[in-house]
Structure 1
Amino acid sequence: MKDFRLYAITGEQFHPGKSMLEVMEQAILGGTDIIQLRDKSGDLAKIRKKAAALRELTAQYGVTFIVNDYIDIALEVDADGVHLGQGDVPLTEARRKMGNKIIGISTHAIEEAIQAERDGADYIGVGPVFPTKTKLDVVAPVTVSYVQEVARTINIPFVAIGGIKLHNVDQVIKAGATRICAVSEIVGSEDIQRTCREFLSKLDTAKAREAHGIDH
């Protein structure tokens, strides 16, 4: 998969009055390089329609497009991949269906991260780092200590997620994250492009400091 730094997930409840496509296009223009459709409504017809629209948008900009949970819809719209939770279809079964497309897995403990890497995940989600209300079934925060553990242990790409805001992302980067995912902070922003650029600037600053041997 193409490497990435800023991962945005749809969250329509955070931008009433703005269309999903308008919001996600602003995120892309701000530098987001992965977009994920996450829709827990269960209305498959609407999810298919959103997935097709986002596939068209992301293809236009050359941005990676991931569908949360729904393997069949991901395949139907030719998404770049799918993201699964710990309670979803086993990775090995998902791989049989997805072929060489991207498969990401949410992890909340190092044992899950190691297993995901062993089973052939292309990347893992690490979180929720901080408390978050973007999902109803969210687990307890894993804190930055889990980010540190993954950074030391796991070789495949990982993205830190969960309650990440501009005011606390430096803690996550200092813990070893080089890829960040945000939901409400991006899609609920008054200036989405600027918010995305600020996240990327913080990642750039950390990378430059590391290159010069300066502690975060």
Structure 2
Amino acid sequence: MNNKFPFRLYLVISEKNCIYFPIEEVVKQAIIGGVDVIQLREKNMETPTFIKHAKQIKAITTHYGIPLIINDNLAVANAINSFGIHVGQQDKSPAFIKNQNTNLTVGYSIEYKQQLLDTENIKHTDYIAASPVFRTPTKTNTITEWGYHGIEYIKTISDKPLVGIGSMNKQTAYNTIKAGADCLAVVSAICASKNPQKAALEIRNEIEKAL
């Protein structure tokens, strides 16, 4: 297990993804069910509102001892002293972020093979995410659908902790971990569940069986 990113079940959450419960309730249930790291992703929220929102979520994650990662917005990550920040191709680069705040854990979405050879950004990244493992309605601009073979390939190129995201659920969890992913990032299977705690527990159980 990697000491910098030792997590197994990663919830990516936003208000719009929470169908049956308020976001605060989904966060609580997911943590009780086995989520051990959370990313708050609010792409369309203005920074002052995002900061206020993130502070509310961080109060919950801190209570449970769970790290909070902010998607893309460095100002928000710094304002709330988050555990980390996650960026993709259209966001500020890992190298830029590390130069601004070396304390942040930086995650980086890998969407095509060439990115793995970008040594400047990879060396400033604490974990990488194969995005997506399988196509999903929550990601409309898919470049590469990695699949299980793609996970295997990435592990031959990089020793960074690898997070699988994209249609991660209790049906795909076991095989994604077996293919080499260290952690699974889940959106709809938990956020849109009528029982987020149970959904998280079922996925966590599949992860543990595969380890």
Q: Would you call these one fold, judging by a TM-score over 0.5?
A: yes
Contact 1:130 1:163 survives alignment (8 Å): yes
Alignment equivalent of 2:38, drawn from 32, 35, 39? 35
Of 185-194 and 40-49, deviating more is 40-49
Structure 2 residue 118 is matched with structure 1 residue 105: no
TM-score (norm 1): 0.88
User: Residues 66-81 of structure 1: matches in 2 within 5 Å?
Assistant: 66-81=69-84
Question: How far, CA to CA, are the matches of 1:34 and 1:114 in structure 2?
Answer: 27
Q: Give the counterpart letter for 1:202 in structure 2.
A: E
Counterpart selection for 1:54 from 50, 53, 57: 57
Corresponding position of 1:214: none
Give the C-alpha shift of residue 87 in structure 1. Answer: 2.0
5 Å matches for 1:128-139?
Answer: 128-139=132-143
**Deviation of the 1:16 alpha carbon:** 3.3
TM-score (norm 2): 0.90
Partners of 1:187 and 1:139 in 2: how far apart? 24
Partner Cα distance (1:118, 1:127) in 2: 15
Q: Secondary structure at the match of 1:66?
A: strand
Q: CA deviation at 1:98?
A: 1.7
Q: In structure 2, how many angstroms separate the alpha carbons of the residues matched to 1:138 and 1:80?
A: 27
Alpha carbons 2:5, 2:126 under 8 Å: kept: no
Match of 2:198 in 1: 194
**After the TM superposition, which residues 129-208 of structure 1 pair with which residues of structure 2 at under 5 Å, given as runs?**
129-207=133-211
8 Å contact kept, 2:5–2:127: no
CA deviations over 1:138-192 (Å, ceiling 9, x no partner): 4342222211111222112110001112122233123122311110001111111
Q: Which moved more, 1:85-94 or 1:65-74?
A: 85-94
The answer to whether the Cα contact below 8 Å between 1:110 and 1:146 also exists between their aligned partners in 2 is no
Name the residue aligned to 2:18: 15
Measured in 1, the distance between the counterparts of 2:131 and 2:122 equals: 19
Q: Would you say the 8 A contact 1:108–1:128 is kept in 2? A: yes
The Cα offsets for residues 13-57 of structure 1, whole Å up to 9 and x where unpaired, read as 333352111111111111111110101114223211211111111
Partner of 1:213: none
- Residues 89-126 of structure 1 show CA distances to partners (whole Å, capped at 9, x for unaligned) of 12211101121220100002333134367432000111
**Number of corresponding residues:** 207
What is the CA–CA distance in structure 2 between the aligned matches of 1:38 and 1:14, rounded to whole Å? 10
- Residues 17 and 204 of structure 1: is their aligned pair in 2 closer, same or farther, counting only changes over 3 Å? closer
**Residue matched to 1:211:** none
Q: Does the 8 Å contact 1:110/1:149 carry over to 2?
A: no
Change (3 A) 1:25 1:134: same
Identity %: 29
Q: Return the alpha-carbon distance in structure 2 between the equivalents of residues 13 and 46 of structure 1.
A: 15
- Cα distance in 2 between the residues matched to 1:118 and 1:14: 30
Match of 2:85 in 1: 82
> 2: CA distance between counterparts of 1:4 and 1:142?
21
Specify every segment of 5 or more residues in structure 1 that has no aligned partner in the other structure, as ranges. 208-216
